[in-house]
């Protein structure tokens, strides 16, 4: 159920891993992440906070821009980013 949600960290993590490693390995990786998260919730007695699907983009925006430029160049397009 965690990987089927569009705007969850685990769904985005599954899609990122599944493209590189395959669906079964990605499923096992998500199960491992969930197990670690459950352990921390039980051990530390804290609530679970979903990081969001855009966590990696917010964490490293330069990497996201490089990826977009590389994908656009593969399609034969040129992109220029102007600061907002």
What pTM value is reported for the model?
Answer: 0.73
Structure confidence by residue, pLDDT tens digits, 26-62: 999 999 999 999 999 999 999 998 898 898 888 888 8
pLDDT in the model for residue 13: 93
Tell me what the mean pLDDT of segment 2-9 comes to. 88
Long-range contacts, stretch 41-50, CB < 8 angstroms, 24+ apart: 50/8, 50/9, 50/10
């Amino acid at each position: 159920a965690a990987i089927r949600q569009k705007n969850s960290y685990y769904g985005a993590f599954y899609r990122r891993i599944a493209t590189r490693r395959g669906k079964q390995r990605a499923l096992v990786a998500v199960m491992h992440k969930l197990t670690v998260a459950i352990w921390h919730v039980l051990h530390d007695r804290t609530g679970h906070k979903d990081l969001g699907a855009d966590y990696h983009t917010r964490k490293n925006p330069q990497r996201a821009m490089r990826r977009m430029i590389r994908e656009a160049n593969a399609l034969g397009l040129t992109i220029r980013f102007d600061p907002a």
